[in-house]
Each structure stands twice: as C-alpha cells, then as structure tokens.
Amino acid sequence: MKLIVGLTVLLSAVALISADLECSIPLDEKAEIPQGWINMTQVCTDALKKQIQTEIGASYEYLEMAAYFSQDVVNRPGFAELFFKSAREEREHGIKLIEYLTMRGGNLQEGVHKLISVPYKEEKYEIKFDGVSALKHAVEMETAVTKSIRALIETCENDNNDYHLVDYLTGVYLEEQHKGTRELAGKLTTLKKMENSHGKLAEFLFDKQL
C-alpha cells in the first residue's frame, strides 16, 4: 500500500514538473531577429519559388507516366522504374531548392501549400504512351526545366548579382540537367533504331534492358 501511495505522489510530481516545462509561446508570435543577413531580392525570391513549383510539377508528371506503365494492361516495368526514378529526382530537386530558400531567409508566410501545390491541368485527359512518345515527352520536359533554370540564373544574376545562388544553380542543377537530358535522348535514339529493325518487338526488348 505504501508503495502505491509513493508511486502516486511521484507521478503527481512528474506531472507538475512537465506542466511547468510546457512551451507557452503562442504559435503566431514572431521573434524579433535582425534582418540584415537576408539579402535575396524579392524578384529573385519569387523566381526561385516559381522554379520550385516547376520541379514539383515535373515530379508529378513523371509519377503519372510511371503509374501508366505500371498498369497490368501496359506492363512495362522498365519504363515504370525509369520514370519513378525521374519523379524522385525532380522531387529531390524541389526539396533542395526549398532548403536553399529557407537557408537564405526566404519568406514562406503566404503559405507553403502554394509553393508545392499539385499542378493544375485545365483539361482532363487520359494519358496513353508508347515507349518512343514517353521518352520524347521526357526529353521535352527536361529541356523545359533546363530553360527555366537558365531563366532563374539570369534573373538572379541581373537582379542584385546573387552570385551564391547563381553558382549553386550552375554547378549543381545544370550539370544534372544536361547529363539527365543526354541520357534520355540516348535512350530515345536506341529505341528508335531498335524499332527500325525489330518492329513492335523492340519496345518489349528495350523495356527488359531498362
């Protein structure tokens, strides 16, 4: 009985201590911190946010393509894995840019959901790809993403000469974009050549190679 009473007293004391340690700072209260270290211009910040949405949009589109080839009625596991991988890479690019934006003190007060919203398609359609058209679409999409990154670099270079971001984008992102696009273009060339010699069997064989 004494043991039970002792445990009860101990638990009550722990509860009181825990209550005292609870954070009472309101969630909407802003900390007063120096702002001089935040030197990205609003023009560059907005352009970077746009690029984040572009990367997230490409990720969703690759995911849609991967899901299409994963269906039992299509059954192209090689293509599916290729585009699942591409979706992960584009999402990772978006994540890295978000981390960079917050590192530079980027303001997300307008809502993170706007930054990573699902791309809206005005017209509903049913996707239907074969291997060649899918790879061609992927090359075109990567080309568009590369052009978008170049536009971001130009904006941030001309607007307040943000050399750090420009160097980061040039050294990391453009390198990956050029290599990735070249790889997809090579796959497209190979598949087209295989179709010339193997006809409809080419896509099946190429999928096995993937």
Q: What is the pLDDT of residues 95-137, one digit of tens each?
A: 999 999 988 887 666 666 666 666 656 555 566 789 999 999 9
Judged by average pLDDT, the poorest of 7-21, 45-59, 98-112, 153-167 is 7-21
> Residue 150 contacts by C-beta under 8 Å, 6 or more apart in sequence?
174
Judged by average pLDDT, the poorest of 49-58, 105-114, 161-170, 192-201 is 105-114
Q: Is residue 30 part of a domain?
A: no
Domain enclosing residue 136, as ranges: 37-106+129-209
Q: What is the pLDDT of residues 2-34, one digit of tens each?
A: 545 455 555 565 455 555 555 555 655 666 766
State mean pLDDT over 156-165: 87
Q: Please state, in angstroms and as integers, the Cα–Cα distance from residue 200 to each residue in 34, 49, 105, following that order.
A: 65, 43, 54
Average pLDDT, the chain: 83
Burial of 51 (0-12, 13-18, 19+ CB in 10 A): buried
The model's pTM is: 0.79
41 within 8 A of 162, measured Cβ to Cβ: yes
Q: Please state, in angstroms and as integers, the Cα–Cα distance from residue 42 to each residue in 32, 104, 164, 176, following that order.
A: 21, 12, 16, 27
pLDDT recorded at residue 16: 54
pLDDT recorded at residue 171: 87
Domain total of the chain: 1
Q: What is the pLDDT of residues 170-183, one digit of tens each?
A: 988 899 999 999 99
pLDDT recorded at residue 35: 66
CATH number for 175: 1.20.1260.10
State mean pLDDT over 148-166: 91
40 within 8 A of 104, measured Cβ to Cβ: yes
pLDDT recorded at residue 160: 77
Q: Is residue 171 part of a domain?
A: yes
Q: Is residue 184 part of a domain?
A: yes
Percent of the chain topping pLDDT 70: 73
pLDDT recorded at residue 65: 95
pLDDT recorded at residue 105: 80
pLDDT recorded at residue 52: 93
Judged by average pLDDT, the poorest of 41-55, 110-124, 137-151, 153-167 is 110-124
Q: Is residue 32 part of a domain?
A: no
Q: How far apart are alpha carbons 102 and 97 in whole angstroms?
A: 9
Residue type, 59: S
Q: Is residue 93 part of a domain?
A: yes
Q: Is residue 196 part of a domain?
A: yes
Burial 110-140 (b: 16+ CB within 10 A, else e): eeeeebbeeeeeeeeeeeebebbebbbbbbe
Q: Is residue 59 part of a domain?
A: yes
Q: Kindly tell me if the per-residue pLDDT of 185 is higher than 70.
A: yes
143 within 8 A of 178, measured Cβ to Cβ: no
Q: Is residue 49 part of a domain?
A: yes
CB atoms within 10 A of CB 61: 20
Token digits of residue 22: 């609870």
